[in-house]
Structure formats: C-alpha cells, structure tokens
Amino acid sequence: MSLKLRKSKAPPPPPGCPIHACMSLLGGAWTTSVVWQLSGGPRRFGELLHDIPGISPKVLTTRLRELTAKGAVTREVLPTSPPSVEYALSSLGLELVPVIDSIVRVGTRLREMTLASHRHDKPSSRR
C-alpha cells in the first residue's frame, strides 16, 4: 500500500530563491569567521590573519576578495607609508552579523544537546 502524497504547507520559495544567494555568500570556508571579526570594526589583513587562527593567507585573500566583490565588505587603501589596506563590513555585511549570531546560538544549543545525550548514553560504570 503506497502512502498518499501530502500537499506542502510551506509557502512557495521566492523567485530566484534569495536563500541560495545568501548561503552562497556565507557558505565559503572561513567566511563567517571573517565577517564575525569585521563586525568589531575595520581590520587590516595581518590583523585578520592573527584574529582567525588556522586560516591561511591564501584563503583569507580569497574570502576578502569574494566578500568585497559581492558588496559585503569594503576595501580602503590608507594613505600611509607604506600603504596599508583596511577591510570593513558594508551595510550589507552588517546585515549578516545577526544572521551569524543566530546560527551561533542554534549551534551552541545543538552542541549542548549532543553533549547531554552522550552523557545519558554512556553505560554506568557501577554494577
């Protein structure tokens, strides 16, 4: 006996699915870390490299270029000697911060639930 196919109660996705556009922006490795660090204010490349342990200079360069090209980050060449560059979140980039914060909160809850379930699953050493 086959089950009857139920009609979806979810609203249809918007045309062009903006969710995919947003996730393609945030989906790159280290992207959320870069945005998170820039949420504290403008940073130079070396500062970001120091602030994000484990990221390579190549990946940081790629992420900053992508975020700049998509309008989430601004790049300003400062009139110093030698010249230096500062990166900052644009208004679009600032809109991503609460999204990332929400993901962090859900991730924290998931981790807590996983840890709690592992504590309950462990066999007792008492017999």
Query: How confident is the model at residue 73, as a pLDDT?
Result: 98
Assess contact for 37 and 51: CB atoms under 8 A: yes
What does the pLDDT profile of the chain (127 residues) look like in tens digits?
789 988 889 888 777 778 888 888 888 899 999 999 999 999 999 999 999 999 999 999 999 999 999 999 999 999 999 999 999 999 999 999 999 999 999 999 999 999 988 887 666 555 4
Strands (E), 5-92: 43-44, 73-78, 84-89
CATH architecture of 24-120: Orthogonal Bundle (1.10)
Q: Map out the domains of the chain as residue ranges.
A: 24-120
Q: What region, left, alpha or beta, does residue 13 occupy, with left being phi > 0 and alpha being psi -120 to 50 degrees?
A: beta
pTM: 0.78
CA distance 23 to 16: 13
